[in-house]
Chains A and B, each alone.
Chain A
């Protein structure tokens, strides 16, 4: 089933919609990113609920993050996270060398300024997924050379 393509088309159209009705400028851009992130959050919450219905309880925070990197990422993006790093103090960096939602955009530095738009939803997705697993976090993303990107997860102690 080519559902991955369908999701990508929808994702791109959502971004166009959110941005089309706004003006240019820092404030507006931030607002749009927030809207996209919030949408991703809701979806992430729902997805993880369905996904972990029959999964065993997670041992610890690292276990949760590995689940996100392997099972969750594979289900959503058909591949695992390529590299997970942590300082064991609540910060995790997830590196995807060929992020599916960026491969269509460019290979390299072209359109770099647009990359954040294509990452916002996924940041929310991760944050939402973690949230429903009982982990509160802040998720940001950075790109230097597409289609590789890094998602940074900062666990918030509740």
Chain B
């Protein structure tokens, strides 16, 4: 890295210009960036808990915000992954777990517990990056901390014409062994319904 020191005078103040030039960026720990997201998410949940009286309201807000993110994220995802149209719900679930989750959160949940009709499944997350450094205090036992994820999935899938219901069935923050997201296919959406922010 080369540093140049030059004297420049601006408006009577003497500023020394320190130009930081880097030949290449250092090999930073890429993990740090996911921590930015995790910490920001934590700050958001904290803010929501301050703004709303009860956990149910916070859960709802997180879901709404997740939805708004999801409807935009899907475009980003499709642009990055160049995945074509999925043939059925099973394929959709596979893409979500093996491509989308991996791409954005660096984890690959397993897809299990399919209903006999093939319209409902579980995503099991061994680890959940959103909850690094997080502990739920006793007075927030009904908070679904990672509820943003449910909204994101719902919003994203709506943009590809699928109405789904998504919720957390198990949560390590609330004492369960794993984190389980249960996703149910409701119906196919007609193409001409406009999307809107909630």
Smallest beta-carbon distance A77→chain B, Å = 9
Smallest beta-carbon distance B97→chain A, Å = 15
Partner of A7, one of B29, B33, B61: B33
Q: Does B47 contact A (CB under 8 A)?
A: yes
Contact B68 A39 (CB under 8 A): no
| Bound complex: CA A75 to CA B35 (Å) | 10
Q: Mark B10-34, 1 if CB is under 8 A from A, else 0.
A: 0001111111101001101110111
Contact A1 B103 (CB under 8 A): yes
| Bound complex: CA A43 to CA B28 (Å) | 18
Note all chain B residues with C-beta closer than 8 A to A35.
47
- Chain B residues with a Cβ closer than 8 Å to the other chain, count: 45
Q: Does B142 contact A (CB under 8 A)?
A: no
Contact B69 A10 (CB under 8 A): yes
Known: A2-B103, A4-B33, A85-B16. A39 touches B40 (CB 8 A): yes
Note all chain B residues with C-beta closer than 8 A to A9.
69, 72-73, 76
Note all chain A residues with C-beta closer than 8 A to B18.
62, 66, 84-86
Contact B40 A21 (CB under 8 A): no
| Bound complex: CA A70 to CA B2 (Å) | 12
Contact B20 A75 (CB under 8 A): no
Note all chain A residues with C-beta closer than 8 A to B47.
18, 35, 39
Q: Does B36 contact A (CB under 8 A)?
A: yes
Known: A10-B41, A80-B20, A86-B18. A3 touches B34 (CB 8 A): yes
Note all chain A residues with C-beta closer than 8 A to B13.
87
B interface, CB within 8 angstroms of A: 1, 8, 13-20, 22, 25-26, 28-30, 32-37, 39-44, 46-47, 51, 61, 65, 68-69, 72-73, 76, 80, 103-106, 133, 197
Pairs A–B under 8 Å by Cβ, sample size 27: A5-B73, A7-B36, A9-B76, A10-B37, A10-B44, A10-B69, A13-B65, A39-B40, A39-B43, A42-B43, A43-B39, A47-B35, A47-B36, A70-B1, A70-B20, A71-B26, A76-B32, A80-B22, A80-B25, A83-B19, A85-B15, A85-B17, A86-B15, A86-B16, A86-B18, A87-B14, A121-B40
